[in-house]
A = this chain, B = another copy of it.
Amino acid sequence: MQTSKIKVGIVGGTGYTGVELLRILAIHPSVELSVITSRGEAGLPVADMFPSLRGYIDLSFSDPAKSDLASCDLVFFATPNGIAMQQTRELLTAGVRIIDLAADFRIQDVATWEKWYGMTHACPELLSQAVYGLPEMNREQIKGAQLVANPGCYPTAVQLGFMPLLEAGLIDPQYLIADAKSGVSGAGRKAETHILFAEAGDNFKAYGVAGHRHLPEISQGLTNMAGKSVGLTFVPHLTPLIRGIHATLYGRLNKEADLQGLFEQRYANERFVDVLPKGAHPETRSVRGSNQCRIAVHRPQGGDTVVVLSVIDNLVKGAAGQAVQNMNIMFGFAENTGLEIVPLLP
């Protein structure tokens, strides 16, 4: 294992994935945080914007144009979609490894990406070397990756829930339903009316039923697991939590199996996937602030519909925590380094 500290930069540190990266990296023993950029807040001490970091982070935001990212060992992009791809080629050439927490490198098919994200991809030739950073699926490729596409929050919860069933060929891949509920921090720290406290509080709604950007990302992953194309209905909902995703997944069983055993075996060696005992119902708060995914599998009334319940903290296993998990894998640190954070309950 590597023991000296690596130099890490963060591009775009003013959003929730940025502050969450800082929370985790602040006490990571193998990381020296050397630069954090923000176009709008250059010069401002990070802890002035996020007082929770007082005493932990002494850096100020720096102007992206003047920041020496090239001297970093690793750069995290905690930026809106479409930013990372504009700097990736140059940084990779400089020998910097990259983890993009946005969506620029998550989808292998350029046309699909451009359709859903509504822009031209800046470096389609790099897609083939980008590794999709879901460690439970791609650990070996992540180890040597120069460029990691950190999965989306919904895609993490949904893929981990369906994975054992699809890999084992137990459910009909044509009729998959993912009914997912997200806390409001999943929408980011943008000043938008619909996520105001007085709008999103004491309220519940579905959104994007006609089509959400995470649909092609999830479909791509499920297709890889199933080894054939899948039919997925994905309905996201906004629920008045700050943090947390709860995915309720429905599949049609096409053969008998020990579902509980299947899940336990598939994740037996995964530090951050916890299969609950039979009959359990995971709560989002049981993973609050932690990198854990907790899963339960049910077969109501003994029928042929399997129901999987999968919960994560969207900002940790669904974003910054998984990014640090990927970093640990890439740099040969123990995979749980800096991630043994006990969930905050209540």
Contacts and interface: CB of A to CB of B under 8 A. Distances in A.
Nearest to A286: B51
A148 to B, nearest CB: 24
Given A239-B240, A307-B233, A342-B52, A204 B300 contact: no
A281 B243 contact: no
Given A23-B345, A191-B192, A195-B197, A303 B233 contact: yes
A185 interface: yes
Contacts of A196: 184, 189, 191, 195-197
A299 to B, nearest CB: 9
Q: How many copies does the complex hold?
A: 4
A181 B239 contact: yes
Contact of A181 (B23, B181, B197, B305): B181
A27 B342 CA distance: 8
Interface in A228-275: 231, 233-235, 237, 239-244, 246, 248, 250, 252, 274
A280 to B, nearest CB: 8
Contacts of A233: 250, 300, 303, 305, 307
A184 B203 contact: no
Interface string A179-197: 1010111010111110111
Contacts of A237: 181, 246, 248
Interface stretch (A53-61, A121-129, A159-167): A53-61
Contact of A344 (B56, B195, B289, B301): B289
Interface stretch (A102-110, A134-142, A206-214, A318-326): A206-214
Nearest to A279: B210
A207 B19 CA distance: 23
A43 interface: no
Given A16-B346, A53-B342, A201 B197 contact: yes
A315 B209 CA distance: 27
A175 to B, nearest CB: 8
A282 B51 contact: yes
Contacts of A206: 246, 248, 281, 309
B240 A288 contact: no
A340 interface: yes
Contacts of A66: none
Interface string A273-315: 0101001111111111110101000101101010101010001
A246 B239 CA distance: 11
Given A179-B179, A184-B198, A210-B301, 9 more contacts: A55-B292, A181-B239, A197-B240, A201-B346, A203-B283, A206-B248, A209-B300, A231-B303, A239-B239
Interface of A: 16, 19, 23, 26-27, 50-56, 175, 177, 179, 181, 183-185, 187, 189-193, 195-207, 209-211, 231, 233-235, 237, 239-244, 246, 248, 250, 252, 274, 276, 279-290, 292, 294, 298, 300-301, 303, 305, 307, 309, 311, 315, 340, 342-346
24 contacts: A19-B346, A23-B344, A51-B282, A52-B288, A52-B290, A54-B286, A55-B274, A175-B305, A185-B198, A191-B191, A195-B198, A197-B200, A201-B240, A201-B346, A202-B202, A203-B283, A203-B284, A205-B246, A205-B283, A205-B311, A209-B281, A235-B307, A240-B240, A289-B289
